[in-house]
Amino acid sequence: MQILVTGGAGYIGSHAVRLFLERGHDVWVYDSLVYGHRAAVPADRLIVGDLNETHRIDQVLLEKRIDAVVHFAAFTYVGESVQQPAKYWQNNVVNTLNLLECLRRHNVQRFVFSSTAATFGTPEKMPITEESPQKPINPYGMTKLTVEKALADYSQAYQWGFAALRYFNASGAHPSGAIGEDHTPETHLIPLIIYAAMGKRPHIEIFGTDYPTPDGTCVRDYIHVDDLAEAHLLALEKLQPGQQMHYNLGIGRGYSVREVIAAVEQVTGKKVPVKEGPRRAGDPPVLVASSDKIQKDLGWKPRYTDIKAIVETAWNWHRAHPKGYKGN
């Protein structure tokens, strides 16, 4: 399959690109490198461009004879989306519509969309299933849900096959340690704890210790980035014209902030300095996915279901690349 991966030089995208290539697909990466990293993907597969450059996209679709797209390119900082909603609506929605129109012109009808658990907002029941109400509480979640709805319209009108994959807390790194997580700024818990263990941060702050959870800290569902990549490929390979897939991706159990800190201490052999602070507004006590539907429909199964195993892959990456991709 000739696959175009937008945002393919980013964290999750680069892992998907690696897997697609390993499985024998012909893959092209289209990335602005605003947040992505040139070193995360093979140089001969990277096309640097922005989604508002529709003439470039048209050219790529034609020259590379693309027949499927996996769309990771998006801005993903929840807090920033509240402060700068225009930036998120322009990039995540308007630019995605630009992309969809390019695909329509070139009759590319197979599309896998990187969506998010943020489309569910603050759910009332756990675990979160595909039938749980989608009520985003920030512009980031709303932009992703808007694209899901646009894809449903395109599918119905133009017989596109699409999959919207809503993932929970992406984590870990490729077991080789060759690629991994490198965000600026970094907001994900596991790398932040690892930075504190390495002495790159003075401490890790726990936001809230009085939640109605076993140890009082927030519980989240951590899914390994390679398991996410596998789900994208399965969806891509099984999509049929006019088919609409919606799947939640998690391991089906949660780990608390204190449990993740303990796992990092076990894996690294280093004590993590901790500072306890008040709750953050908008942080639900527990967010856990049910991924029964994708397991039943596509045969997907997460290989990493233990937080220690996930942390080990992240530690391999950070230990080998203490400066991230800048050290490459």
φ, ψ dihedrals at 211, nearest 5°: -75, 155
CB burial readout 232-244, b (16+ within 10 A) else e: bbbbbeebeeeeb
Maximum distance among all Cα pairs of the chain, rounded to whole angstroms: 57
Q: Which residues make beta-bridge pairs with 224?
A: 171
The CA angle 49-50-55, to the nearest 5 degrees, is: 80
Helix, strand, coil shares of the chain as percentages rounded to 5?
45, 20, 40
Measured distance CA(106)–CA(102) in Å, rounded: 6
Edge-to-edge strands, sheet with 219-220: 255-256, 219-220, 286-287
**154 catalytic per annotation:** no
Report CA dihedral (34, 35, 38, 39) to the nearest 10 degrees.
160
Q: Which one-letter DSSP state was computed for residue 279?
A: P
Q: Is 115 exposed, middle or buried (0-12, 13-18, 19+ CB in 10 A)?
A: buried
The amino acid at 262: A
Distance of CA 19 to the CA centre of its chain: 15
Whole-angstrom CA distances from 36 to 11, 199, 226, 238 are: 7, 25, 17, 28
Using the structure block, give the residue that is written with the tokens 């602005």.
32
Task: Name the active-site residue from 30, 35, 88, 140.
Answer: 140
Q: Which residues are catalytic?
A: 140
